[in-house]
Structure 1
Amino acid sequence: MKNLLPVCSAGSLPKPAWLAQPETLWSPWKLEGEALVEGKQDALLLSLQDQLRAGVDIVSDGEQSRQHFVTTFIEHLSGVDFENRKTVRIRNRYDASVPVVVDAVARTKSVFVDDARFLRKHTNQPIKWALPGPMTMIDTLYDAHYQSREKLAWEFAGILNQEAKELEAAGVDIIQFDEPAFNVFFDEVNDWGIAALERAIEGLKCETAVHICYGYGIKANTDWKKTLGAEWRQYEAVFPKLQQSNIDLISLECHNSRVPMELIELLRGKKVMVGAIDVANNAIETPEEVANTLRKALQFVDADKLYPCTNCGMAPLSRQIASGKLAALSAGAQIVRDELGR
């Protein structure tokens, strides 16, 4: 990346009101058929313009084509029943009605590749694309076929690898896997979760990232955070093994969280996407607040490996607030760039 401290977002950005209900997480589409295909592309271009206007260096589709960060991918696979759903506990935090794995899972067609080609056609900026990680996928459905979290995760890892290779061929520069489950199931992460993630990136030449956060600003997540005490040290359980992995970038939550900044030291040598924007409230950070978070992070990560980022996706926020937060992120990064230049 040409720019020092290249700015990016963790993932989702708000959708326009004509595509889905604003300020609502995982809102259903308002369009269907060809109108939906066209609507998603229009929203993607709007999202791209918003990012460029805000000064984002590494752009994404803003997840305009994903309704849900996991199930939208699973909807395209065979072997999963979406009609007869079951209720499961997600990340030991909240109950959700989820699809059921009833047979061997397989990817019969690409999921996001056409969208990625469309975005590539409209920008020369580096592109980052988000996919769900294997462990978070298995935590977001009911398995009536494999009866083994690990076995299903390995199946999903192979499927994700097929999609990732096609995204790379479509011109994506960074492929990110969303693994909030890595902050919960520590034994499994270290036993086979990181290994499954490495299976998902096998053979890729583009850069790869894993996004591990404490979740969107929904009540189930904010209530859970209240139980975590004065210091959130969950990252400590998984960072040492991630530091040894083949993943290039680690995306984590910092601003307004109780994550001790020195935990980043455990990733020394990796590129780190430092969450300097809080997505769980509507207050737009000042550039100086962003700069302050980045300065603290620079004690533990080299400047050429620090990527200013958001804590998580911003889908539940208004477009105006999300744009303001992205602009603050860029302005804060510029303050620190100027200081480093001196």
Structure 2
Amino acid sequence: MEKILPTSTAGSMPKPSWLAEPEKLWSPWKLEGDALIEGKQDALLLALKEQQQAGIDIVSDGEQTRQHFVTTFIEHLNGVDFEKREVVKIRDRYDASVPTVVGAVSRSKPVFVEDAKFLRRHTTQPIKWALPGPMTMIDTLYDNHYKSREKLAWEFAKILNQEARELEAAGVDIIQFDEPAFNVFFDDMNDWGVAALERAIEGLQCETAVHICYGYGIKANTDWKKTLGSEWRQYEESFPKLKKSNIDIISLECHNSHVPIDLLELIRGKKVMVGAIDVASKTIETPEEVAATLRKALQFVDADKLYPCTNCGMAPLSRAVARAKLQALTAGAEIVRAEISI
């Protein structure tokens, strides 16, 4: 990365209304068959264009070809029955009807590799690709086969590693693993969660990132945040372990959160994607607000290791709001860039 403070998004962008119902997670597709394949590619190009027009440096597919950041990956695997559903509590916060693991899990074909090749063909910019992390995957399923969260996580880590290696070969520059579960299940995370993540990145030459946030701006998450008190210290549990890990970049929620900024001291030396855009609010940040968040982070992160980003995915937002927020992110990063280079 030549540019200092290169900007990116956490992953998802809103979908166009002709592809799926906007501002909604798990929104069903409005097209089918060949029209759906073409529609997803059109939406991917649109998401790319919107990022480019907003001045985003490290671009993604906007997760346009997936309904959900976890389940779409799982849908392509063997051993999971989507017809057989059970209600489980996701991230200890809300009940959801989820598919059941009925046999050994495996990946018979690539999941996102063709999409990644398609994106690579349409841009020369650095590309970031998001995959669900092993621990967050097991939190979105009912396991009737392994009967062990840890065992299932290790199986998923192996599968993710296969996918990640092919994504790297397709030209992806940064592979990001989304692990919101790291903010909830501290014992598991310390016992085997970070180790499973390291299994997922084994042998990769491209950069790797882990994204740990407080969730999309949906009611179950915003309600949970209200119970966390005036200081959100969850990162204190995962950062020491992640600092010692082989993961290159740590992506976290910062703006409008109650995360004490000095927790970043725990990962000093790592590259950090600092969330400077609140995705749980429709209010557009000013460039100055973004700059203020970045300046705070710069007390604990060297300028050449700071990557301005969004707090989480923007799928539940309207396209106009997402667009304006990305423009604010770029403008805020520009302010701080100018201050650094003086």
Give TM-score scaled by structure 2 length: 1.00
1:257 is paired with a residue whose SS is coil
| 1:149 and 2:157 correspond | no
Task: List per-residue Cα deviations over 1:272-324 (Å, max 9, x = no partner).
Answer: 00000000010110000000000000000000000000000000000000000
Q: Which residue is 1:241 aligned to?
A: 241
Q: Which residue is 2:288 aligned to?
A: 288
Quote the offset at 1:326 in angstroms: 0.3
Q: Which residue is 1:108 aligned to?
A: 108
Paired letter, 1:111: V
Q: Which residue is 1:311 aligned to?
A: 311
Q: Which residue is 1:277 aligned to?
A: 277
Task: List per-residue Cα deviations over 1:193-220 (Å, max 9, x = no partner).
Answer: 0000000000000000000000001110
Instruction: Measure the CA separation in 2 of the matches of 1:184 and 1:292.
Output: 28
| 1:125 and 2:125 correspond | yes
Q: Which residue is 1:65 aligned to?
A: 65
Paired letter, 1:131: L
Quote the offset at 1:24 in angstroms: 1.0
Q: Which residue is 2:200 aligned to?
A: 200
1:277 is paired with a residue whose SS is coil
| 1:231 and 2:231 correspond | yes
Quote the offset at 1:80 in angstroms: 0.5
Q: Which residue is 1:93 aligned to?
A: 93
Paired letter, 1:270: K
- Mapping 1:18-57, distance limit 5 Å: 18-57=18-57
Counting matched residue pairs gives: 342
Instruction: Measure the CA separation in 2 of the matches of 1:26 and 1:102.
Output: 23
Instruction: Measure the CA separation in 1 of the matches of 2:264 and 2:124.
Output: 31
Task: List per-residue Cα deviations over 1:60-101 (Å, max 9, x = no partner).
Answer: 000001101100000000010000111100010000010000
1:163 is paired with a residue whose SS is helix
Task: List per-residue Cα deviations over 1:25-63 (Å, max 9, x = no partner).
Answer: 221111111111100000000000000000000000000
Paired letter, 2:59: V
Q: Which residue is 1:326 aligned to?
A: 326
Task: List per-residue Cα deviations over 1:116-163 (Å, max 9, x = no partner).
Answer: 000000000000000000000000000000000000000000000000
1:96 is paired with a residue whose SS is strand
Quote the offset at 1:20 in angstroms: 0.4
Paired letter, 2:127: I
Instruction: Measure the CA separation in 2 of the matches of 1:207 and 1:142.
Output: 32
Q: Which residue is 2:220 aligned to?
A: 220
Q: Which residue is 1:178 aligned to?
A: 178
Instruction: Measure the CA separation in 2 of the matches of 1:313 and 1:192.
Output: 26
Q: Which residue is 2:191 aligned to?
A: 191
Instruction: Measure the CA separation in 2 of the matches of 1:227 and 1:112.
Output: 36
Runs of 4+ in 1 over 4 A off after TM superposition: none
Structure 2 segments unaligned to the other structure (5+ residues): none
Instruction: Measure the CA separation in 1 of the matches of 2:29 and 2:177.
Output: 24
Quote the offset at 1:12 in angstroms: 0.4
How high is the sequence identity, in percent, across the aligned residues?
80
Quote the offset at 1:338 in angstroms: 0.2
1:222 is paired with a residue whose SS is helix
Paired letter, 2:317: L
Paired letter, 1:280: A
Give TM-score scaled by structure 1 length: 1.00
1:247 is paired with a residue whose SS is coil
Paired letter, 2:314: M
Paired letter, 1:269: G
Paired letter, 2:231: E
